[in-house]
Amino acid sequence: MNQSSSFDWATLLAEAPEPEALAWIASQTRESLDALRDKSASHSVTPLMIAAKRSARLTQALIPLSDVEERSRPHNQTAMMIAAGAGRTDCVEFLVPVSDANAASTWGYTALLTAIAKGARIARGFWRRSPICRKETKKAAPRS
């Protein structure tokens, strides 16, 4: 189902009751979500980015329909960076396995650096769940 340009999907995902937002997501396809994005706009986010700030259930439902590496404009952030910045460890958990942990924003921040800036609790959760971070820790560990 493709929504008209006057339909406010961003507000639906950000503010509507979760069951209503989940029902809307269930009616979408990759193509219909892609059509919602104004690729020429100077400020742009995806449905997944909005969900990553709000709800793990919405995030989980949108991952199969979304390009998780798509970037916001103008800040060049991925959904995982946005979830980390919002302190949404539950959303980060779903995004870590399918995202590039080394992707950096316009300012050079990765999702991990964003999590560290947000606070220790989310950074620890991100570090434990990221296979890339665990691999880098093993490489950097001193040998006895």
How would you write the pLDDT of the chain (144 residues) with one tens digit per residue?
444 456 789 999 999 999 999 999 999 999 999 888 776 676 789 999 999 999 999 999 999 999 999 999 888 999 999 998 888 989 988 998 999 988 999 988 888 787 777 765 555 655 565 555 544 444 444 544
Predicted local distance difference test score (pLDDT) of residue 80: 93
pTM summary value: 0.77
**Helices and strands per DSSP (H, E), number in the chain:** 10, 0
User: Looking at residue 29, what is its pLDDT?
Assistant: 96
Amino acid 9: pLDDT: 92
pLDDT for 39: 67
Q: Report pLDDT for 44.
A: 85
CB count in 10 Å sphere of residue 63? 19
d(CA 51, CA 58): 6
How confident is the model at residue 37, as a pLDDT? 76
* pLDDT of amino acid 102: 87
Residue 1 pLDDT: 41
Question: Are the C-beta atoms of residues 95 and 112 closer than 8 Å to each other?
Answer: no
Domains of the chain in start order, with CATH, are 9-140 (1.25.40.20)
| Contacts (Cβ under 8 Å, ≥6 apart) of 3 | 9, 32, 36
